[in-house]
Structure 1
Amino acid sequence: MVSGYASNGRKSEALELFWRMPRRDLFAWTALISGFLQSGDSFDAVKLFVEMRRNEVEIDDCFVLSTVVGASSDLATLELGRQLHGLVLALGYKSSMILGNALVDMYAKCSDIRSARAVFEGLVMRDVISWTTMVVGEAQHGRANDALDLYDKMVLAGVKPNEVTFTGLIYACSHAGLVQKGRELFDSMEQDHGIRPSLQHYTCLLDLLSRSGHLTEAENVINSMPYAPDEASWGALLSACKKQGDTSMSIRMADRLLGLKPKDPSTYILLSNTYAAAGKWDSVASVRKLMAEMDVKKEPGYSWIDLGKESCLFRAGEVPYTMRHEIIRLLNELANEMNKRGYVPDTRSVMHDVEETEKEQQLFMHSERLAVAFGLLKSIPGTTIRVFKNLRICLDCHNVLKLISETTGREIVVRDANRFHHFEVGKCSCGDFW
């Protein structure tokens, strides 16, 4: 009953019943904590685990540990994840494959792909989840060759890949421009492993082809695939058309996508930006009117930085009063240094009909720049700065963070809505292909 209430979001009823229990053993705590995690409340799941530890409940089963490590993954709290890893070792669960898989996933999602690989290599036993978690992690961090090498080792080890494995592999190829390899993997799914490609796999293939400039082939795929294209499929193709600068095809794809009456707010933003880039301001107004009629609200952009003992959330254009002077001063100093290196603001991502200077000011106050400046001011010199952004990083901020990594000599890792970007000595792990 506790698990049922908690996993369905009925938090107060779950807690009331839990505290009424005459005896609260490990399994009762696990039911409550895992239920909170299933309902999406990772923060309270972690708080409950801390409360359980204070109650000195003996942990003689590793499931609750894998659950709270999963909560740490969702929250992208690396320091918490490291502490939990230490607890796992202290309790003697180093050889647990379930916990090992959870730790690999946690480190990968918390932007520490090196630690994820170290945990993976140390696993005594590996199943398809172990291999797939590491393959997907390498892919999301832009390490396509590592992901493909892992897949080859996985097959040689006699482990049969699953649907998620191929999603990660094709994603890796898509973000590294490995078109032919991606085609081969897509074909081998059914031919070699008997896995029928799903709509998600076709969407990954569309992204692979269109992202690499094979727009005609991608359009042929979307028109002939055995599934009705959904919002994600058309969105992948439209996004690539827009990036490739094919205005006529972009408008054609946008019109098709708009005909689906999409539900995702980000799709309407993509449509609006597509029409804006083509100078079709009447169409932009129409999309925004439709958003208002359907009560579709744009998700506000924000960036989160966690320094262990100190963390902060930044929204575009908003700087905490207590840090405003220091952050703005540092950003201006960095801007002066970047200007000496030839930096010119790329205002194409500002889809508003305003003056160029206002566009540049909006870029200057993007949330990821504020978070990175905070990290430079507050973190230990020489340490990696890790930022988590809920939306996709814009082209100008991508260029700026490359320059900041070069001028400060610091590694900056940004997890955006699409992938991980590792900025170091003026370069990004994505190779400017994301």
Structure 2
Amino acid sequence: MPERDLFTWTALISGFIQSGDCFGGVKLFEDMRRDGVRIDDAFIISSAIGGASHLAALSAGKQLHGLGARLGYESSMIVGNALVDMYAKCSDICSARAVFEGIVTRDVISWTTMVIGEARHGRAKEALSLYDRMVLGGVKPNEATFVGLLYACSHAGLVQKGRELFDSMIKDYGIKPSLQHYTCLLDLLSRSGYLSEAEDIITSMPCQPDEATWAALLSACKKHGNACMSVRIADHLLGLKPREPSTYILLSNTYAVNGKWGCVAQVRRSIAEMEIRKEPGYSWIELGKECFLFRAGEAPHDMRDEILRLLDELMMEMKKRGYAPDTSFVMHDLEEHEKEQQLFMHSERLAVASGLLKSVPGTVIRVVKNLRVCGDCHTVLKLISDITHRQIVVRDANRFHHFEGGICSCHDFW
């Protein structure tokens, strides 16, 4: 193609991002800028911001924000909505809120994006307050709005408020609950200990439960130590996905909580016999304008000695404070010291250590992980935040965790 105009570039960039190649889409945007193409359309900037959002690339997102501001698009709804989503997904919820408040005209997408952002960061009070403002302002909530609200209630234990919102969605707005709404409601009930009610709903709801629905209930069974229900729920889950490692781990840990060590051994034998392998964990962190990827058990050669030395020092301090590794999160049949070594080399710990070594002192350390943070790493990150007096934000497959002063925003239930 001899010459590409703005329309052509927009189609290419949007195509890359919509197909899941966000890195390619952001790179194309940079190529377009280098070609000197004049940007006089807010849509292409919002598309590029969307790419940065999915990559959790805060530095790139900030640069795009600055470009949008220089071109006069900062207060436009389409760019503003994209920026709110980007900052929320890049773990900077305060900047997301600042951009939201600066949008001149807000639509249901603006409000819903902010509600979901607050909910994912564990800020239920703020999410519910936004909803009240939204309704008072005459903006009608949609299906996604209620997913965010129910998620907020679930992670804050607001059972009655969640029930009211679920009923209001149907009665006041005529919205038919989807599987996602039912999953949020079940998560809310089961997290708060209403396991029987949650099981009744899952077996009688009009839509077919999927893996996420059963998994929410199984996770709660482990928390509340209900081994009998765990077995029933695990059967459903394994029927949907027979080789899912997390199901076996949750079932095994539930048995362990109840002291049923024979059952624990049986589950572990099944894992070994079926040669089930957990999806490899990896985490990444932005340091300056560079992004560093860490895989479980691996540290970059040029940083390896520094990272391991720092983790050793932190481990000694944590053990002085009473920390003992919880090796139940290691699937493989290994010696105890080998299990501890596997936990020691989990990817999020390596990423956080690199952040402590390379970032500006006092700044927030932001890490993204592809899987759910394991319980032992969650304990370790709380302790590290207290020992180093640093705020650590981890976005895992489930939610955001804000670690500060030895406390996590999820209150140890995620």
TM-score with structure 1 setting the length: 0.90
Among 61, 68, 79, the alignment partner of 2:41 is: 61
Among 243, 248, 252, the alignment partner of 1:276 is: 252
Partner of residue 28, structure 2: 48
Among 124, 139, 143, the alignment partner of 2:104 is: 124
> Which one-letter code corresponds to 2:16 in the other structure?
F
- The share of aligned pairs that are identical, in percent, is 70
**Which aligned pairs between 1:255-266 and structure 2 lie closer than 5 A?**
255-260=235-240, 262=241
Is it true that 1:322 corresponds to 2:302 in the alignment?
Answer: yes
Partner of residue 204, structure 1: 184
Tell me the alpha carbon deviations over residues 358-417 of structure 1, each in whole angstroms, 9 at most, x when there is no partner.
Answer: 222221111111110000001111111100000001111111111111111111100000
TM-score with structure 2 setting the length: 0.94
Where does the alignment leave 5 or more consecutive residues of structure 2 unmatched?
256-262
Question: Partners of 2:193 and 2:371 in 1: how far apart?
Answer: 24
Tell me the CA shift for residue 80 of structure 1: 0.5
In the alignment, is the contact (CA less than 8 A) between 1:272 and 1:288 conserved in 2?
no
Question: Partners of 1:347 and 1:211 in 2: how far apart?
Answer: 24
Question: Partners of 1:122 and 1:54 in 2: how far apart?
Answer: 30
Partner of residue 358, structure 1: 338
Among 223, 228, 240, the alignment partner of 2:203 is: 223
- Aligned residue for 1:303, secondary structure, equals strand
Question: Partners of 1:66 and 1:318 in 2: how far apart?
Answer: 36
In the alignment, is the contact (CA less than 8 A) between 2:222 and 2:251 conserved in 1?
no
- Aligned residue for 2:279, secondary structure, equals coil
More divergent stretch after superposition (283-292 vs 68-77): 283-292
Where does the alignment leave 5 or more consecutive residues of structure 1 unmatched?
1-19
Partner of residue 162, structure 1: 142
Among 314, 326, 329, the alignment partner of 1:346 is: 326
Tell me the CA shift for residue 142 of structure 1: 0.6
Partner of residue 284, structure 2: 304
More divergent stretch after superposition (351-360 vs 194-203): 351-360
> Which one-letter code corresponds to 1:233 in the other structure?
T
In the alignment, is the contact (CA less than 8 A) between 2:221 and 2:227 conserved in 1?
yes
Partner of residue 14, structure 1: none
In the alignment, is the contact (CA less than 8 A) between 2:65 and 2:74 conserved in 1?
no
Is it true that 1:110 corresponds to 2:90 in the alignment?
Answer: yes
Partner of residue 81, structure 1: 61
- Aligned residue for 1:101, secondary structure, equals helix
Tell me the alpha carbon deviations over residues 188-237 of structure 1, each in whole angstroms, 9 at most, x when there is no partner.
Answer: 11111111111111111111111111111101111111122222221211
Tell me the CA shift for residue 24 of structure 1: 1.6
Question: Partners of 2:322 and 2:218 in 1: how far apart?
Answer: 32
Question: Partners of 1:407 and 1:231 in 2: how far apart?
Answer: 38
Tell me the alpha carbon deviations over residues 228-281 of structure 1, each in whole angstroms, 9 at most, x when there is no partner.
Answer: 222222121112212322111111111122223x28x6xx11222134333344
CA 1:184–1:146 in 2, change beyond 3 Å: closer, same or farther? Answer: same
Question: Partners of 1:66 and 1:219 in 2: how far apart?
Answer: 42
In the alignment, is the contact (CA less than 8 A) between 1:239 and 1:270 conserved in 2?
no
- Aligned residue for 2:294, secondary structure, equals strand
More divergent stretch after superposition (385-394 vs 331-340): 331-340
Partner of residue 259, structure 2: none
Partner of residue 390, structure 1: 370
Question: Partners of 2:293 and 2:72 in 1: how far apart?
Answer: 36
> Which one-letter code corresponds to 1:218 in the other structure?
A
Tell me the CA shift for residue 282 of structure 1: 4.1
Tell me the CA shift for residue 287 of structure 1: 5.8
Question: Partners of 2:180 and 2:11 in 1: how far apart?
Answer: 32
In the alignment, is the contact (CA less than 8 A) between 2:16 and 2:25 conserved in 1?
yes
Among 408, 413, 420, the alignment partner of 2:388 is: 408
Tell me the alpha carbon deviations over residues 126-161 of structure 1, each in whole angstroms, 9 at most, x when there is no partner.
Answer: 000000000000000010110011011111111000
> Which one-letter code corresponds to 1:247 in the other structure?
A
Tell me the alpha carbon deviations over residues 75-101 of structure 1, each in whole angstroms, 9 at most, x when there is no partner.
Answer: 110000000000001111123100000
In the alignment, is the contact (CA less than 8 A) between 1:238 and 1:250 conserved in 2?
yes
In the alignment, is the contact (CA less than 8 A) between 1:271 and 1:287 conserved in 2?
no
Question: Partners of 1:281 and 1:274 in 2: how far apart?
Answer: 13
In the alignment, is the contact (CA less than 8 A) between 1:251 and 1:274 conserved in 2?
no
> Which one-letter code corresponds to 2:315 in the other structure?
A
> Which one-letter code corresponds to 2:294 in the other structure?
F
- Aligned residue for 2:172, secondary structure, equals helix
Cα RMSD after superposing both structures: 1.6
> Which one-letter code corresponds to 2:214 in the other structure?
W
Count of matched residue positions in the alignment of Structure 1 and Structure 2: 406
> Which one-letter code corresponds to 1:355 in the other structure?
E
In the alignment, is the contact (CA less than 8 A) between 1:275 and 1:284 conserved in 2?
no
Question: Partners of 2:407 and 2:264 in 1: how far apart?
Answer: 35
> Which one-letter code corresponds to 1:84 in the other structure?
L
In the alignment, is the contact (CA less than 8 A) between 1:166 and 1:185 conserved in 2?
yes
Question: Partners of 2:275 and 2:159 in 1: how far apart?
Answer: 36
Tell me the CA shift for residue 308 of structure 1: 2.4
Question: Partners of 1:431 and 1:240 in 2: how far apart?
Answer: 14
Is it true that 1:100 corresponds to 2:80 in the alignment?
Answer: yes
Question: Partners of 1:289 and 1:35 in 2: how far apart?
Answer: 44
More divergent stretch after superposition (125-134 vs 188-197): 188-197
Partner of residue 191, structure 1: 171
Question: Partners of 1:180 and 1:353 in 2: how far apart?
Answer: 43
Question: Partners of 2:75 and 2:343 in 1: how far apart?
Answer: 48
Tell me the CA shift for residue 311 of structure 1: 2.6
